[in-house]
Amino acid sequence: MKTILISILLLSAFIWKAQAQQAFPLSHGKGYKLPVCVYKGDTIPYITLKNIYVYPEMRFKNNRQRRNYNKLVRDIKKTLPLAKEVRRAVIETYEYLQTLPDEKSKEAHIKLVEKGLKKQYTPKMKKLTFAQGKLLIKLVNRECNLSSYQLVKAFMGSFKAGFYQTFAALFGASLKKEYHPEDEDRMIERIIILVENGQI
């Protein structure tokens, strides 16, 4: 009787394996290369998973609050990539300036960078709403650890920084606005973390 049961189990396993191969055919050499580690003589493939951030569920008092939250998510998704591009441009420009021999060549390079940035980003900036522009100023501070005013002053001088600050003030904005993730910008930080992690 035991022999019959074992035979039936083995036969069932072979039939299941054949069906599984038909349903999920082998990739014939295609697949994913994974890093491996050796643990007590065994080679084990492994993958590093992203952190999953869990926040309390959002509760809205009314539809207006829900719309405002959804608008903030949309605005962050639109402006965060721009803030990251600014950071990249600042780092590249700073590193390149360190290789230049004198102030004259540095000033010439900064003028070229300014001209290139205006050409590249003016069309994008024109598409931003006023709220998105103000948000971008904060996100630049988050990404660069310097306010937009400080960045302009460092690269283009006090006169241009003052000019752009005055221009922004005419529209009720400030290039000196800072980002406070533990205080007034807590919700923005939460959304950024979830967006960067692909959770929203």
Each residue of 66-76: pLDDT tens digit?
A: 999 999 999 99
Q: What is the pLDDT of residues 11-66, one digit of tens each?
A: 454 444 444 444 444 455 667 777 888 888 888 888 888 888 888 888 999 999 99
Using the CB atoms, write b or e for 35-69: b if 16+ within 10 Å. eeeeeeeeeeeeeeeeeeeeeeeeeeeeeeeeeee
Contact 35, 46 (CB under 8 A): yes
Which residue would you say has higher pLDDT here, 192 or 200?
Answer: 192
Most confident of 25-34, 95-104, 178-187: 178-187
Whether the model clears a pTM of 0.75, i.e. scores above it, the answer is: no
